[in-house]
Amino acid sequence: MDRAYRNVLLEAGCTAEEIQKRTAEAFETIFYGPDCFYHEFGDDMGYMEDTGNHDARTEGMSYGMMMCVQLDKKEEFDRLWKFSKTFMYMESGYHKGYFAWSVTPEGLPNAQGPAPDGEEYFAMALLFASHRWGDGEGIFNYSAQAREILHTMIHKEEEGGRNMFDPVNHLIRFIPEKDYSDPSYHLPHFYELFGAWAAEEDRAFYKAAAEASREYLKKACHPVTGLSPEYGTFDGKPYTGEWDVFGRHDWYFSDAYRTVMNIALEHEWFGRERGYAWESGIAEKVQKFFCETVKEQPRAVYSIEGEILEDTALHPVAITASNAAASLAIDGELEGNALACVKLFLDTPLRTGDRRYYDNCLYFFALLMLSGQYRIY
The residues annotated as belonging to the active site are: 59, 255
Q: Identify each DSSP E strand in the chain by its residue range.
A: 38-41, 45-50, 55-57, 102-103, 301-302, 308-310
Residue type at 128 in one-letter notation = F
How many residues appear in the chain? 377
54, burial (CB in 10 Å: exposed 0-12, middle 13-18, buried 19+): exposed
CA atoms 172, 177, 179, 183: torsion sign: negative
Strand order in the sheet with 55-57: 38-41, 45-50, 55-57, 102-103
Closest CA to 373 of 63, 68, 117, 37: 68
Residue 350 identity (one-letter amino acid): L
Task: Measure the CA–CA gap between 216 and 205, rounded to whole angstroms.
Answer: 16
Which 3 state secondary structure label does DSSP give 97? coil
Phi then psi for residue 80, to 5 deg, are -65, -40
Residue 377 CA, chain-centre distance (Å), reads 17
The region that residue 209 occupies, defined by phi over 0 for left and psi between -120 and 50 for alpha, beta otherwise, is alpha
Phi, psi (deg, nearest 5) at residue 37: -125, 10
Q: Which residues contact 200 (CB under 8 A, 6 or more apart)?
A: none
Beta strands in 42-196 (DSSP E): 45-50, 55-57, 102-103
Among 271, 150, 127, smallest CA distance to 203 is for 150
